[in-house]
């Protein structure tokens, strides 16, 4: 959930979970050269299409944004993409030129109903959809933005590329509300302690990805502010 704005905001930046925004959070110390007051509002939508649909409508009603960025992690489908690469898809928000100058790669995203957990599943999705990366919220968010006439863009970072099997099947750890059940997570780890090193490595990988994403978003805001 984001903090309510008193007036319409120029830009709303949405993330599914806190881990995606850890290097962009408004309370975090700013990088040199970035204004202390970011010209945007940050909002958490939760995981999956249902949570994203509910919470983006709530966010739009609360802060009345002029433009929306849906940001976060994505799984790689295109084998040429590697962990930490930042991708974008923008058809109406007028960010394309600035993003490409920042080295962000134009791509096509597939909004899936589940976490793509294996390299085999990612390969099948790449062949069937032609998408470069997979995520679970952006398409819904951007469809609703179009209903309200709000320009939007997807900016996501590859957290696990097409070659990588995730250390656990996170779909099995979700509640009926599309939230991680941490008791199930602990149980899964205790049942398969051999996966702990892979989980630690995956966590390190997502931190690096989040850092890259946060840097791009802050650079974008600095360019937009100039």
Are 150 and 94 within 8 A, CB to CB? no
Residue 116: burial class (beta carbons within 10 Å; 0-12, 13-18, 19+): buried
11-225: CATH topology: Rossmann fold (3.40.50)
Residue pLDDT, tens place only, 140-162: 999 999 999 999 999 999 999 99
8 to each of 11, 39, 61, how far by Cα in Å? 9, 11, 10
Residue pLDDT, tens place only, 163-215: 999 988 888 877 877 777 778 778 877 888 888 889 899 999 999 999 999 99
Residues recorded for the chain: 226
With CA atoms as reference, report the closest residue to 51 among 169, 214, 174, 161: 174
Q: pTM of the prediction?
A: 0.88
Residue pLDDT, tens place only, 22-74: 999 654 544 444 445 556 899 999 999 999 999 999 999 999 999 999 999 99
Q: Is the pLDDT of residue 86 over 50?
A: yes
With CA atoms as reference, report the closest residue to 31 among 226, 225, 214, 223: 214
Residue 169: burial class (beta carbons within 10 Å; 0-12, 13-18, 19+): middle
Return d(Cα 23, Cα 69) in angstroms, integer: 16
Strands 109-111 and 133-135: parallel
CA diameter of the chain: 53
For residue 31, what is the DSSP state?
P
Structure tokens at 220: 């974008």
Residue pLDDT, tens place only, 127-145: 999 999 999 999 999 999 9
């Amino acid at each position: 959930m984001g903090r309510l704005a008193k007036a319409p905001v120029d830009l709303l930046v949405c993330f599914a979970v806190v881990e995606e925004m850890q290097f962009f959070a408004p309370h975090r110390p700013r990088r040199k050269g970035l204004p202390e007051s970011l010209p945007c509002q940050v909002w958490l939508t939760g995981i999956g299409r249902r949570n994203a649909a509910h919470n983006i409508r709530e966010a739009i009603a609360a802060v009345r944004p002029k433009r929306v960025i849906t940001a976060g992690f994505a799984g790689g489908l295109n084998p040429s993409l590697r962990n930490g690469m930042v991708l974008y898809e923008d058809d109406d928000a007028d960010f394309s030129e600035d993003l490409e100058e920042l080295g962000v790669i134009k791509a096509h995203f597939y909004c899936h109903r589940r976490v793509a957990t294996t390299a085999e599943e990612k390969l099948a999705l790449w062949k069937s959809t032609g998408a470069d990366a997979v995520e679970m919220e952006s398409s819904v968010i951007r469809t609703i933005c179009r209903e309200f006439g709000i320009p939007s863009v997807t900016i996501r970072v590859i957290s696990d590329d097409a070659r990588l099997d995730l250390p656990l099947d996170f779909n099995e750890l979700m509640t009926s509300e599309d939230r991680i059940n941490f008791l199930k997570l602990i149980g899964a780890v205790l049942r398969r302690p051999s996966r702990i090193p892979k989980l630690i490595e995956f966590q390190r990988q997502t931190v690096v990805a989040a850092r890259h994403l946060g840097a791009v978003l802050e650079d974008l805001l600095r360019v937009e502010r100039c």
